[in-house]
């Protein structure tokens, strides 16, 4: 009985440890565009043109909307942390399937126009990005 209890605890602990440290492979993000799906910008064909879409490169750099550039990394929770060349930081929560959602402060003013020529990005809490088909 004691050995079966120890086996159960080992299995439970192993499963918990795997779940806590499950950081996705960076290739998941760098294989294709991540186009904005909410609000629906599909008519702009972001999966092909890159408009309102992220491109993550294997070397740790990203492009958003063809104008915003910077570096990216994966944090301990499996989310993306982006730093633009202008100094902005953005966290994109990864749902572990195929959707990225920006973390936006509830106090942030989201009605400001985006100055993508200057390398800025501005998102609402309801914005979503989905991986494009290859």
Domains of the chain are 29-131 (2.40.128)
> pTM of this prediction?
0.75
pLDDT at 108: 55
Condensed to tens digits (0 to 9), the pLDDT of residues 108-117 reads 544 444 444 4
Averaged confidence pLDDT in the chain:
79
Confidence of residue 31 (pLDDT cuts 50, 70, 90): confident
Three-class SS state of 48: helix
What residue has token string 């959707």? 99
- Work out the angle at residue 52's Cα, subtended by the Cα atoms of residues 47 and 55, and round it to the nearest 5 degrees: 60
Report how far residue 68's alpha carbon sits from residue 53's, in angstroms, rounded to the nearest whole number: 10
- Which one has a higher pLDDT value, 106 or 60? 60
58-84: average pLDDT: 95
pLDDT bucket at 124, cuts 50 / 70 / 90 = confident
Model confidence band, residue 61 (pLDDT cutoffs 50, 70, 90): very high
Tell me the average pLDDT across 38-62.
90
CA 9/CA 22 separation, integer angstroms: 20
**Angle at CA of residue 31, ends 133 and 29, nearest 5°:** 100
**Does residue 76 register a pLDDT over 60?**
yes
Give the residue, 21 or 66, on which the prediction is more confident. Answer: 66
Residue-wise pLDDT for 9-24, tens only, equals 333 444 444 444 578 9
């Amino acid at each position: 009985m004691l050995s079966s209890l120890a086996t159960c605890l080992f299995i439970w602990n192993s499963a918990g440890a795997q779940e806590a440290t499950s950081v996705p492979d960076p290739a998941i993000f760098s294989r294709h565009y991540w186009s904005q799906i909410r609000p629906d910008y599909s008519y702009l064909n972001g999966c092909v043109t890159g408009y309102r879409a992220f491109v993550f490169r294997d070397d740790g750099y990203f492009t958003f909307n063809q104008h915003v550039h910077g570096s990216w990394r994966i944090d301990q929770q499996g989310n993306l942390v982006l730093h633009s060349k202008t100094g902005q930081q953005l966290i994109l929560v990864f749902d572990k399937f195929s959707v990225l959602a920006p973390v936006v402060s509830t106090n942030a003013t989201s009605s400001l126009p985006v100055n993508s020529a200057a390398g800025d990005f501005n998102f609402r809490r309801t914005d979503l990005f989905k991986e494009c088909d290859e």
